[in-house]
Homo-oligomer: A and B are copies of this chain.
């Protein structure tokens, strides 16, 4: 290993007394982001005003930052652009992909993130009754890809279980029957080396506030394979995806390649935070990251299974099928997570019964794993999660 994870850890602010195993929900604050956001507000917005769009390079940020994301997801340079939320980008990819097919079936799986399914349901309703979203169990996807399918829409890593799909195999299967495939990389980008080009993705989308540490509500990204990018008709055809936005023509003409997937005015403060957060990745070899992640998840699984027999592992033991998280099932999962958080171990609960722990080698090491195992073991042995204050539900966990 050449990556110095002690050095990357020093690039983040981590509160005292916290073991943070929830970077797969919201990454922590990169120290450089504070100064960068302040500079954007004070020196750029404050002093340049409207001139910031040119002089501070705001207008090009979605492409400039997209090029840095491209390196992390194995995309060809110039084929990723930032903007909107992940749900919007799912919709955009899906509507554009459906327009490239004569078929009307969208295939997904029951492990997909609900918002992806909701956006597809809404699009089907908008398009009319012939369009349908079909969902099967994750393990049944490969058999369900047949020549009725227009578009396969999958999230590579299951947000609850941490199960990872085989991108290359499923993309090949989709293409073999004449379907297109969209990959949601929400739990992949920054979690391990992703290969959208090598893996045959037609479209890929993802968010940046998880493993990429862009902060709450950071912008999403979209990738369109080069074989499609000059001919795809963008759904959500906004002015900044126009060939010449400042000509103010009354008719839409798509911009060059991936630029056409831009929609409206980009969120510059969020992009500034993201751009600073991406500096951390200059120091990281993604293969090192993957090795470290697997070592951490293996260590956590072994520790918890040795000490907590009532927690049922739901994450695959097979490295090839695992993302960068570990999930356990327990009927009292919600209360157990609240008890953990009260002791400074922050993970996530996902309904109905999943305890989810994200492992992010940039700032989590063996000490954090061992500390979390010790605290979880103590909670499970004592039954302390049964207190009323841990069982009362709040809106978000």
Instruction: Point out residues on A near B: beta carbons under 8 Å.
Output: 13, 15, 18, 20, 22, 25-26, 28-29, 33-34, 37-38, 41-42, 44-47, 49-54, 58-59, 84-88, 91, 95, 99, 110, 113-115, 117-119, 121-122, 125-128, 135, 160, 207, 209, 215-220, 233-240, 242, 246-252, 263-271, 273, 341, 346, 348, 350-351, 394-397
Contact = CB atoms under 8 A, between A and B. Distances in A.
A265 B207 contact: yes
Nearest to A396: B53
27 contacts: A18-B49, A28-B46, A29-B41, A29-B45, A34-B41, A37-B41, A49-B346, A51-B346, A52-B216, A54-B395, A59-B396, A85-B263, A86-B265, A87-B263, A87-B264, A88-B88, A117-B251, A117-B252, A118-B238, A118-B252, A122-B234, A122-B235, A122-B252, A125-B233, A209-B265, A246-B351, A269-B270
Nearest to A347: B50
Contacts of A251: 117, 121
Contact of A115 (B127, B239, B351): B239
A85 B160 CA distance: 30
A13 B53 CA distance: 18
Contacts of A114: 239, 242, 248-250
A350 B87 contact: no
Given A233-B125, A273-B269, A88 B264 contact: yes
Nearest to A20: B49
A179 to B, nearest CB: 19
B118 A235 contact: no
A258 to B, nearest CB: 17
A117 B250 CA distance: 7
Contacts of A240: 115
A99 B113 CA distance: 26
A84 B95 contact: no
B395 A265 contact: no
B270 A267 contact: yes
Nearest to A242: B118
A263 B13 CA distance: 30
B239 A59 contact: no
Contacts of A160: 248
A126 B99 contact: yes
A349 to B, nearest CB: 9
Contact of A216 (B18, B115, B269, B395): B269
A54 B396 contact: yes
Given A121-B251, A235-B126, A85 B264 contact: yes
A242 B45 CA distance: 35
B246 A396 contact: yes
A116 B159 CA distance: 35
Contacts of A15: 46-47, 49
B346 A216 contact: no
A200 B134 CA distance: 40
A267 B240 CA distance: 19
A362 to B, nearest CB: 14
Contacts of A42: 13, 29, 34
B41 A273 contact: yes
A180 to B, nearest CB: 16
Given A51-B346, A122-B235, A270 B270 contact: yes
A269 B266 CA distance: 13
* Shortest beta-carbon contacts, A-B, top 9: A85-B264, A122-B237, A115-B239, A87-B238, A216-B268, A217-B267, A87-B264, A118-B252, A29-B46
